[in-house]
Amino acid sequence: MEKLWVVCLMSQWFIFDVIASVGFVSHPVLDVRIPVAQAFGCVVSTSTPVAVLGVLREADLRKSLETKIDGESLFNDGVGYVVFLVLVGIAFPTGDHHGEGFSGAVTLFLQEAAGGAILGAVLGFLVFQLMKRIDDYALEVLLSLGLAFGGYQLAVYLHMSGPIMAVVAGLFIGDVGMRYGMTAETRKYLDKFWELIDEILNAILFLLIGIEVFAVAFNIEAVLAGVLSIALALVARFAAVAVPIFILKPFRQFPSDVIPIMTWGGLKGGISVALALSLPDSEYKPLILTATYVVVLFSIIVQGLTIAPLSRKLGREPDLL
């Protein structure tokens, strides 16, 4: 559980740090209102777990560091979506998103984030109890699939965050459930099943990113804003990773490669583009969409192709995490 709260702390700090850093600093860059700039900051702060997992497999990182980046990316995805809903409700109060002022934003955040986490913990615990009482790998794989899809739909029905529910439930099954509720055979089949799902989703994600280019209207101003946003996002990402680690250093050791690898390994992908596409129609949407696409292309092509050489150059440090 110690590893989990470290990941959670880094994820929450990252989301809000990027909103502040990218959102406010990009205000003059994008020439938009501050609430709209904050919404843009949330869009480019949200990493894509499928893209991250696909790249990490090629990077051949040590298992503990890979787990940290996986977990941070998943929490980032869930929390980022909730914060995005809140900020869009404030920036575009006449849109389809919730927008009832500050109190409405707080209520929405608590309902989506806290509600999703509680629901995920409850469903994860119930499925864990079922898995402890059976010894059938096929049935346990189906239970995990039902937890992911059925739990997500239940969260949506209850107006809670489906991604956060899935992350909490998945971490519960992947940690406690794997150790205490499954046989070695079940663990092997469960890993292979979700590895196949990951490969399929990874292929679909990059296909959709290629298709979405037709929705982007490129112009010099928007491309320049996107290039500047790349630098802002990387600086914010570095601060979001480094500050929690420096805070925790008196209590535990961290290898020196954690900060550069986690900073460079926070990949953006289809989720960021999807959030930009979901913005209400306004004068700002084409600019934000183009800038977001530039950030995503840089993240996938440049960061994605260089994270493995970076990890090799930094060396294989002892597993201290």
Q: List pLDDT tens digits, range 172-220.
A: 887 777 878 788 888 888 888 887 887 787 677 677 767 766 767 677 8
Query: Is residue 97 pLDDT above 80, yes or no?
Result: no
Angle (CA) 234 236 240, round 5°: 115
Cα gap 24→302, rounded to integer Å:
25
Measured from the Cβ of residue 29, the count of other Cβ atoms closer than 10 Å reads 18
H helices present in the chain, as ranges:
2-18, 25-30, 34-45, 49-59, 63-91, 101-109, 115-132, 137-157, 162-172, 178-180, 184-211, 220-248, 258-264, 270-277, 285-298, 304-314
Question: What would the mean pLDDT of 248-276 be, rounded to a whole number?
Answer: 79
- Tell me which amino acid residue 265 is: G
**Contact between 76 and 266 (Cβ < 8 Å):** yes
User: How far apart are alpha carbons 161 and 198 in whole angstroms?
Assistant: 21
Going by pLDDT thresholds of 50, 70 and 90, the confidence category of residue 65 is: low
Q: Is the pLDDT of residue 284 over 70?
A: yes
Per-residue pLDDT tens digits for 103-116: 666 777 777 778 88
Q: Which residue has the higher pLDDT, 312 or 283?
A: 283
Examine the pLDDT at 154 and tell me if it is beyond 70: yes
Query: In the chain, where are the structural domains located?
Result: 2-314
Average pLDDT over residues 267-285: 81
CATH fold of 2-314 reads: Na+/H+ antiporter like fold (1.20.1530)
**Type of residue at 58:** E
Report the pLDDT value the prediction gives residue 2, as an integer from 0 to 100: 47
The pLDDT, as a whole number, for residue 321 is 45
Q: What is the pLDDT of residue 191?
A: 82
Residue 289 has pLDDT above 80, yes or no: yes
> pLDDT-derived band of residue 29, with 50, 70 and 90 as boundaries?
low
**Phi first, then psi: what are they for 134, rounded to 5°?**
-125, 160
